[in-house]
Amino acid sequence: MKLVISADELHSLIEKKGMNLLIVDARPYAEYAQGHIPGAVNIDLMQFHWIDTSQEGIRQFNRQSKMLLSNIGVSKNRFVVFYDNVSGPSAARGVWLLLYFSHSKVAMLDGGLEGWKAKYGTETKTNPFRHAKFEGRPDPKILADYKTILSAMKNKRTVILDARSKEEYDGTAVRAARAGHIPKAVNIDWNDNVHGPQFKDSEELAQMYSKMPKDAEIITYCQGGYRAANSFVVLKMLGYENVRMYLGSWGEWGNRQDLPVSK
């Protein structure tokens, strides 16, 4: 599963006339309007965060996600490439979202727009959506809810990975009603996944995550499920098969008084 492609690879796909390709700029519209990859449509994925992983919350997430993906033109046979400014969280969230809906024809652009502009040109015109009827099937094996985390805390074979900053992890930076981290979680800041605009090479990344057994279940989380999606993509790139992302992340966990917290 190749979830990350280079600027040269994306350029080749664009050059193949008739290629059923959808390029999605996941940045804010104000940035998109200043210049974007030719043909790209825009949806600011950072605005579609979700911090309710109750049974009804997930049902509504599934419904609204399908509406969003249909509106931007995702369909069964289209290859979808997400990008943001660098190899960042918004593009990774797009990859995770499509994988969650069992759509494997998806990748993110390594280096994002910064990497693209080093070799290729941009445009400023706004490209319209071509509505499709997206019918992806949710795959619960890559989404974790708060109940999954409670069970994982008791399972020695599960690693809970906190992709936030050290300050958020240790509780000195407060971004919810409570500060700290999920008990048992280990901290590897998602920023360490990248060097400049691009992902670090596979050897460096493998060394960073070397203490995590390849056969373990790993659940990533952050504040809202974006930085955690970036770490999710990296782990999948490295060959980890059993990886989930906690959708609600600290936005849910840190604001619920009934869930345990460590500092």
pLDDT tens across 152-194, in order? 999 999 999 999 999 999 999 999 999 999 999 999 999 999 9
Smallest CA-to-CA distance from 92 within 193, 213, 211, 181 is with 193
Phi, psi dihedrals of residue 21, rounded to the nearest 5°: -115, 135
Compute CA distances 109 → 66, 153, 199, 208, whole Å.
23, 34, 10, 22
Q: Would you say the CATH fold of 140-253 matches that of 4-117?
A: yes
Residues 183 and 149: beta-carbon distance below 8 Å: no
State the pairing for strand pair 194-195/41-42: unpaired
Q: Where are the domains of the chain?
A: 4-117, 140-253
> Which pLDDT score, from 0 to 100, does residue 17 have?
75
Neighbours of 194 (CB within 10 A): 19
Taking residues 97-119, what's their average pLDDT? 98
48-60 pLDDT, tens digit per residue, is 999 999 999 999 9
Residues 167 and 173: beta-carbon distance below 8 Å: yes
Residues 164 and 250: beta-carbon distance below 8 Å: yes
CATH number corresponding to 4-117: 3.40.250.10
State the pairing for strand pair 21-25/41-42: parallel
CATH number corresponding to 140-253: 3.40.250.10
Q: Is pLDDT of 1 > 80?
A: no
